[in-house]
Amino acid sequence: MYDFFGNPLSIEQNIREICLADGIILYGKGSFSECIEKIHSLGFEELIPQFEMPVLGVSLGMQILGTYCIEKYGSEHSTEGLSVFPIKVNQFQNVANIQHTSLESISELRGPLFKDIEENAKVFFDHSTKMPPSKNFSTSLCTFNESFSSSIQKDSFNGIEFFPELSGETGIKVLQNFIKLL
């Protein structure tokens, strides 16, 4: 199987194959707690934070790299994340049961994922929880009722809150820039 750019691609659940990969994309959709439960069921919770190869967390795949998430679906509960980033994930403030689903501008772009991407580029979001801005780890910001990290970076770990495959030329360029890190 190959990606959009002709690079070899595989979907793996085998620890040995994952450890031999040139890079990892953690793609997430759904709830934080369900995603972490799946990671635990596969035995990856201690492995992922130790990766030295480039990692790109996409949407929920970015959020699970945080310390924990407070979700409010009926009742409030907290789920521990993988703690790659010392950032907690929570729902948007002052907006009950909201899903942020739209094309939005991102600003304050920095880091290798945003090489040759213009300030205020538009990307597509679909999420109800977010990471707050972090002066140490945010590589881009977005505003939806409040400012949040639309991307983060630490060592070999990168995360993007938006979906690159739904973000046009900007999303393609972000993926190309990630591939250059491999």
CATH code, domain carrying 152:
3.40.50.880
Q: Could you give phi then psi for residue 63, rounded to 5 degrees?
A: -65, -35
Q: Is the pLDDT of residue 166 over 70?
A: yes
The answer to the question of residue 8 being in a domain is no
Q: Hey, what are 137's tokens?
A: 């780890």
Q: Is residue 35 left, alpha or beta, with left meaning phi > 0 and alpha meaning psi from -120 to 50?
A: alpha
| Structural domain span for residue 53 | 15-180
pLDDT bracket for residue 83 (50, 70, 90)? very high
pLDDT at 28: 83
Q: Is the pLDDT of residue 11 over 90?
A: no
Amino acid in position 125? F
CA distance 53 to 47: 12
Pairing between β-strand 100-105 and β-strand 122-127 as defined by DSSP bridges: antiparallel
Residue 1 lies in a domain: no
- One-letter amino acid of 22: D
Residue 109, helix vs strand vs coil: coil
Per-residue pLDDT reduced to its tens digit, 39-77: 999 999 999 999 999 999 999 999 999 999 987 665 677
- Total domains present in the chain: 1
pLDDT band at 7, cuts 50/70/90?
low
Tell me whether residue 145 is in a domain.
Answer: yes
* Residues 93-115 pLDDT 10s: 766 557 789 999 999 999 999 99
Residue 17, burial from CB neighbour count under 10 angstroms (0-12, 13-18, 19+): exposed
The answer to whether residue 9 is domain-embedded is no
| Lowest mean pLDDT segment, chosen from 10-14, 36-40, 91-95, 124-128 | 91-95
pLDDT at 74: 59
Q: Judge whether 39 lies within some domain.
A: yes
6: in domain: no
Residue 32 lies in a domain: yes
How does residue 27 score in pLDDT terms, banded at 50, 70 and 90?
A: very high
d(CA 98, CA 106): 20
Strand ranges for the chain from DSSP E: 24-28, 55-59, 68-73, 75-80, 89-91, 100-105, 122-127, 129-130, 138-144, 146-154, 157-160
